[in-house]
Structure 1
Amino acid sequence: MSVNKLFRQNHTESNHMKISDVNITFVKPQGGLIGFASLVLMGDFYVSGIAIHERLDGAGYRLTYPNRKSGDQVFNICHPINRQASKAIESAVFQKIKDVKKKSCNNAGYDSHKFTA
């Protein structure tokens, strides 16, 4: 039995993915990239290197997941395997961005280039 099937069998009782310890590291905006997120899934699995990009139309953000290139091939390191998981991660990361923006706007030294949209 594959690890994925075993994991799904052990977690079918809950349709809710527990996401915790969401952290955002902002970078100087370049080509739409504004930062990186890290988080913990189900209290057991740490994921980092999730890139945060501003949407081209300026209406929010989108996430891209870590990958590696070897020759002409690109290999995914990790990514959500269904829409529900994708939406849960997006929701947690986007909420953290809102929280950080709100907190930063209330502090002296706020640097507006970090936050657009």
Structure 2
Amino acid sequence: MKMKKSKVLLAGLATAALALTGCSSNGGGEGDGEGTGEGGDISIALVSKGFQHQFWQSVKDGAEEEAEAQGVSITFDGPASETQVDSQLQMLQTAIDNRPDAIGYAALDPKACIP
């Protein structure tokens, strides 16, 4: 079970990173240092639907474990409950403002995040 969770999480992190590579203003070439830590470490911001359910707690644990194994730094945020759309949108904006290399986002309300 742990191996499967790890593979699913790694696939999710890789998908998010690859999807956002095309969004880079520099075309995915050499970085300008923004969004990376000292020495060019990869940083990934994850914004979940919340922490109310054991599922998201497991996702957080797996993400942290795999990030450590891969040498990637992550942040993992989520509202206290899955009804706090405004709170989640603030967390997403904070993640965007911090300019990580990739953002994983599980939208509570996909239409709310469009602007």
Shared fold by TM > 0.5?
Answer: no
Q: TM-score, normalised by structure 1?
A: 0.24
Q: Which has the higher contact order (CA 8 A, sep 6+)?
A: 2
Q: Which has the higher helix share?
A: 2
Q: TM-score, normalised by structure 2?
A: 0.24
Q: Which has the higher strand share?
A: 1
